[in-house]
């Protein structure tokens, strides 16, 4: 794990990161949904479920976030993604569970509480468990059941969003395996 310079600011968030097989399955759906919605599919490597978006953080605070990750609940769980749709006021298409597991809501709640205790400012919007599949969608997709993607959630990561001419990629700053 590399150190971050204290003068560096990174745009960071905590997320659930799918295993490679789940990432590939979600990538196939992302490309299909993007074609139907007139959008741009998210690259397979960037597919994730955001638990907490933190935003720009000074380098010296990254170690605080790493320490928070170590203290999170470590229970693995299954997540069934079985609905797709678009958000009303954005151009995003998503896939989500129709039933959010208690372990996911517990993990998100514990993370939110720890971040607030460490004086990180978080979004005020309520948590909506979803994986963004496509951006810049020109057509809406109704919230429908379409089948399922079974995801054995085994990993939480602290990710930094790195922008470049080729788009955005994510760099892992800390990871936590769930048992």
Euclidean distance between CA atoms 113 and 110, whole angstroms: 5
Q: What is the pLDDT of residues 29-86, one digit of tens each?
A: 999 999 989 999 999 999 999 999 999 999 889 999 999 999 999 999 999 999 998 8
- Give the pLDDT confidence of 75-111 residue by residue, as tens digits: 999 999 999 988 877 889 999 999 999 999 999 999 9
Longest dimension (CA), the chain: 47
Q: Name the superfamily (CATH) of residues 9-177.
A: Cyclic phosphodiesterase (3.90.1140.10)
**DSSP assignment letter at 74:** -
- The DSSP output letter for 42 is P
Please tell me the pTM assigned to this model. 0.90
Contact of 121 with 21, CB cutoff 8 Å? no
């Amino acid at each position: 794990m590399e150190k971050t310079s204290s003068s560096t600011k990174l745009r960071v968030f905590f997320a659930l990161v799918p295993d490679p097989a789940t990432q590939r399955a979600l990538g196939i759906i992302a490309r299909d949904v993007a074609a139907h919605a007139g959008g741009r599919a998210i690259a397979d490597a960037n597919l994730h479920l955001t638990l907490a978006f933190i935003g720009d953080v000074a380098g010296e605070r990254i170690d605080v976030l790493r320490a928070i990750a170590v203290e999170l609940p470590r229970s693995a769980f299954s997540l069934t993604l079985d609905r797709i749709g678009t958000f009303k006021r954005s151009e995003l298409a998503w896939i989500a569970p129709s039933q959010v597991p208690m372990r996911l809501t517990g993990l998100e709640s514990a993370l939110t509480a720890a971040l607030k205790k460490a004086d990180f400012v978080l979004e005020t919007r309520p948590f909506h468990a979803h994986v963004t599949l496509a951006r810049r969608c020109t057509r809406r997709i109704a919230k429908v059941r379409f089948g399922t993607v079974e995801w054995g959630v085994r990993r939480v990561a602290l990710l930094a969003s790195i922008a470049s001419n080729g788009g955005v990629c994510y760099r892992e700053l800390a990871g936590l395996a769930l048992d």
